[in-house]
Amino acid sequence: MERDMTSTQRPSRRDLLRTLGAGGAALATGTALTSCGIGSAAPPGNGAAEVTGPFDWRAAEGETLTILQTPHPYQQSFQPLLREFSELTGVEVRADIVAESGYYTKLNTELAGQTGAHDVFMVGAYFLWQYGPPGWMEDLGPWIENESATNPEYDFEDFFEGLRTSTRWDFQKGSPLGTGAQLAIPWGFETNVVCYNKAYFDRRGITLPETFDDFVQLAVDLTDRSENRYGVAFRGSKSWATIHPGFMSQFTREGARDYELQGTELVATMDSDVAVDFTTKWVELARRAGPTSWTTYEYPDATGDLGDGYAMMCYDADSATYPKNQPGASREAGNLGWYPGPAGPDGSYGTNLWTWALAMNAASRRKQAAWLFIQWATGKDAMSKAVQQGSFADPPRQSVFDGAFKQTLGGFPGYLETFERVIDETKIQFTPQTKFFETTENWAVALQDVYAGEDARQRLSDLASASTASVNT
């Protein structure tokens, strides 16, 4: 459903997941579009060095900036503040809001065509690995470093480290995140932890499990199909988005890895002994203590069951479960609590994150204005105001989290403690690679095959072989 700029309706997470999947498929056409001559004019070079003199918020006064966004609580929290940016800078902003169902298809086509129609765009974390290598995204590092272009109070180091590194990559096979170009600036993010029905747990004196084996056993014990109650909700559909929240966090904590660099080849390792053992337990968890229609479950299904009181726990994004505890938002509003989920055998709380970020179109002809907007929208003042709108979780700046956001958490037991426990080990836990969407969706399919009865070791071995061939092509 199309939503205009004044919409206050919370976007459908189901639609968003479908959008991301469609966008991932559309990315494969990007190189072809360029090679066919669409947008053959070369984009302008990085413009940061051209900015000289004292920093001036009004350096691009009189220009009109176009930004491309999809409906989301972050976008909606900032919408009322756009006039403040124009008053500060003299730059007018035209915000084009595209429904989730077509967002990444439109963005991919525009970036491949190098038209520069939109100067700034909203982008999800893993898409940087697709849009960065072709040169479609401006390296924001030189802009951050140029004192003439950047407000001296901007304080890039204020962003949580895992977010700074997760939006930076050098495009080299096997290189970790945190190297190379700064492709985007985090705008909002989520950690993947456990939300549970605290009122139910408290009434029965249930202790939160510290190990994954204990977590599985508790979830099984909580399940009573005759009462329409089950232990834990998490995603299970044939989508890359099934892998990245709870699964990838616990996969990492248990000591498993997706790939490792062997010589010049990136080798898939989701068939290692520890990975096979964990995957077997995860699928058994889904079978014995998950939703009966687990293979169709996406973001809104899992959090919806938690809010309705059917699921006693939910292993997913903290910012997804956060709204369910808002007054009147769900049947269990006010009854929910948060904890990090089980630690790994070595005490690890490695946690996967997702971030929505703001990026600059490399083909923009209004780069100084674009950078002024990005640094304003990701700056301390504007972000603090957006947080106070009530639907902005989590802010990527530590000062904003410790200030404006922390003040909103009084009715969210365990949220702050959970965040503080995992944040130092929170980052994108995947190995960056340009075939992410294809290979990670195949991973989700493999989980379903094991759930259906296929041998876990053989199925994961086949997956690893196919993934290795794909990422090295």
Residue 418: per-residue pLDDT: 98
Distance CA 360, CA 378 (A): 13
Q: What pLDDT does residue 385 have?
A: 94
Mean pLDDT across the chain, nearest whole number? 91
At 168, the amino acid letter reads: R
Whether residue 233 contacts residue 313, with contact meaning beta carbons closer than 8 Å, is answered with yes
Give kind and range of the element (H or E) at residue 23.
Answer: helix 13-27
Q: How do residues 299-332 score in pLDDT, each as one tens digit?
A: 899 999 999 999 999 999 999 999 999 999 999 9
Looking at per-residue confidence, does 254 or 44 come out higher? 254
pLDDT of residue 291: 98
Domain with CATH 3.40.190.10 in the chain: 13-190+353-424, 191-351+429-471
pLDDT digits (tens, 9 = 90+) for 254-269: 999 999 999 999 999 9
The continuous run of DSSP H or E covering 260 comes out as strand 259-262
DSSP secondary-structure letter at 317? E
- Cα separation of the two ends of the chain: 38
- φ/ψ of residue 356, rounded to 5: -85, 135
Residue 180 has pLDDT above 80, yes or no: yes
**Among the listed ranges 13-27, 35-49, 230-244, which one has the minimum average pLDDT value?**
13-27
pLDDT of residue 70: 93
Distance of alpha carbon 374 from alpha carbon 379, whole angstroms: 8
The C-alpha atoms of residue 43 and residue 45 are separated, in whole angstroms, by: 6
Give the global pTM. 0.89
Q: How far apart are CA 22 and CA 16, in angstroms?
A: 10
Q: What is the pLDDT of residues 89-126, one digit of tens each?
A: 999 999 999 998 899 999 999 999 999 999 999 999 99
Residue 121, strand partner residues:
68, 359
pLDDT confidence of residue 43: 52
Across 374-394, average pLDDT: 92
Would you state the pLDDT for residue 392? 85
What's the CATH number for 13-190+353-424?
3.40.190.10
Q: Which amino acid makes up residue 254?
A: E
Give me the pLDDT at residue 126, please.
Answer: 96
Q: Which of 261, 276, 245, 273 is nearest to 468 (CA)?
A: 261
d(CA 131, CA 136): 6
How many Å apart are CA 54 and CA 149, to the nearest integer?
8
Q: Which amino acid is at 227?
A: E
> What pLDDT shows up at residue 44?
63
Q: Which of 374, 391, 398, 392 is nearest to 163 (CA)?
A: 398
22/234: higher pLDDT = 234
In 75-204, DSSP assigns E strands to: 92-97, 120-124, 168-169, 181-182, 185-197
- Lowest-confidence pick of 25-29, 31-35, 243-247: 31-35
Pair type for strands 311-317 and 265-268: unpaired
Class of domain 191-351+429-471: alpha beta
State the burial class of residue 195 (Cβ atoms within 10 Å of its Cβ: 0-12, 13-18, 19+): buried
**Beta-carbon contacts of residue 347 (< 8 Å; ≥ 6 apart):** none
